[in-house]
Structure 1
Amino acid sequence: MTRTISIASRFNGPPGSGNGGYVCGLLAKEIDGPSQAILRVPPPLEKPLTLEADSYLATLHDGDVLVGEAKPVAFDLVAPPAPTLAEARDAAKRYAGFADHRYPTCFVCGQSRPAHDGLDLFTGKVEGRDMVACTWTPGADLADANGIVRPEFIHAALDCPSYWALTHAGKPALLASLTASIDAALPRTGEELIVAAWPIREDGRKHWGAAVLYTAQGAVIARAEALWIEPKQA
């Protein structure tokens, strides 16, 4: 299957390029089951891109340039117990991005967007845990005709929180890959959900973090592990 798509400017991450989690989600939803999406270059906005997919591989090209790809993988990330709604709401008050944000207009975690234009995922430190969290109530504009949140927005919601969980948070880093699994029925718009994330490890310029989307009752909806890479020093 081959078709042409375009990433709307609304769905930016850094200025001028697509939000990594959202673009990974566009690729991942072409794959059945857990997948790993890898970004090769910053995804361009408002430009015709070629999406090709079968059961084993999805690719996104800008002309001859490979923007990203996704493939099926085994994924065994264990989700920790969810913070409570009250803990997640409280944690959001401590979002580090309120004080210092390199990309304040990011679709997922930017605090300088018009009201309800982004996901507004402001994950802050959970008291007593090595974890950041916030709540998320998806709006109707993120849904399909049946009121179900589209999967690319689930992936987007698992992206930036994993960055804000890193010890490197606040410093330059770009999403390189997102390994993710949607484990339950997709939520409906208007449901209050919990997003939580924690650091995994780091190796030089590479930083790994994980994120989980939970129902308000703490059941797992989706899991992800993200690889963030610091840009090379000029």
Structure 2
Amino acid sequence: MAATGELIVPARYCGPPHSGNGGWVSGTAAAFVPTDDERPAVTVRLRTPPPLDRPLAVTTGEDGTVRVTDGDHPVLEASAVARPAVDGIPAAVSFAVAEAAGDGYEGLSDHPFPTCFTCGTQRGDDALDLRPGRLQDGDTYAAAWTPAADVDVATVWAALDCPGGWSAGFAGRPMVLGTMTAWVGRVPTPGEPHVVMAWPRGAQGRKFFSGTALYAAGGDLLGQAEATWIAVDPAAIRPAGS
């Protein structure tokens, strides 16, 4: 296991108030993972809530698996994998339709993590402010997004994160990200309208599964993800050792 560097999660990128946004942290860790044409995506398994504002050690194994640790506590593991299947991905709705869906965003009335970088309702211009809302078909969600000037790959992972949770049943059943597999083909253009589509992919016990896709205004697919969510008590979400 070779030391690769360190990862710090600034408080700006929180999900729950005391730990990092799962998508942003996963996307930041993914940058350490070598990918290739056969394995252009990265899968990240979160082991414990990522702590904020302190250095986390990043190491790489002989097989290319990246591990992030907080002292003796494992935070996540990341490795290169094949791109998620494109079959069954919903086509993008228009930006206007996605904006209208946001009027019904369930987080406006009940949000267990209102400080979340991606979908929190108590954030300002330093966050994404995504409001994924249910479309008329009843299962698919859409969120309008106009990326800021500092958009990067980790921000795309964050945008592909929370909408999936809401589509999987986050309202009334708090969940945290357990595993996320994402492919980012291109970073979106700042200031241009984009749409994130999200849909449920089933459930098993406390685990809930979702898919997400990011589209440019012209319908180009820029990124996609599959995620596993774990139902939790939100009051118990703290980094190991806290």
TM-score over 0.5 (shorter chain): yes
One-letter amino acid of the counterpart of residue 9, structure 1: A
Deviation (angstroms), 1:167:
3.0
Match of 1:205 in 2: 206
Match of 2:134 in 1: 125
- Secondary structure of 2:198's partner? strand
1:198-219 Cα deviation digits (max 9, x unpaired): 1010011000011111001221
Match of 1:145 in 2: none
| Alignment pair present for 1:57 and 2:65 | yes
Match of 2:48 among 15, 30, 41: 41
- Secondary structure of 2:172's partner? coil
Q: Is contact 2:110-2:171 (8 Å) kept?
A: no
Match of 1:137 among 142, 146, 149: 146
One-letter amino acid of the counterpart of residue 61, structure 1: T
Distance, in Å, in 2 between the alignment partners of 1:191 and 1:29 is 24
| Alignment pair present for 1:23 and 2:32 | no
| Alignment pair present for 1:173 and 2:175 | yes
1:56-97 Cα deviation digits (max 9, x unpaired): 222111112110011111222432211112211111111000
Deviates more, 1:154-163 or 1:50-59: 50-59
Which runs of 5 or more structure 1 residues have no equivalent in the other structure? 143-148
- Secondary structure of 1:94's partner? coil
| Alignment pair present for 1:229 and 2:230 | yes
| Alignment pair present for 1:105 and 2:112 | no
Distance, in Å, in 2 between the alignment partners of 1:134 and 1:216 is 13
Distance, in Å, in 2 between the alignment partners of 1:124 and 1:2 is 40
One-letter amino acid of the counterpart of residue 133, structure 1: A
Alignment: residue pair count: 225
Q: Is contact 1:164-1:170 (8 Å) kept?
A: no
Distance, in Å, in 2 between the alignment partners of 1:87 and 1:170 is 25
Deviation (angstroms), 1:161:
0.3
The percentage of counterpart residues that share the same residue type is: 40
Match of 2:239 in 1: none
Deviation (angstroms), 1:5:
2.5
Deviation (angstroms), 1:26:
1.0
- Secondary structure of 1:127's partner? coil
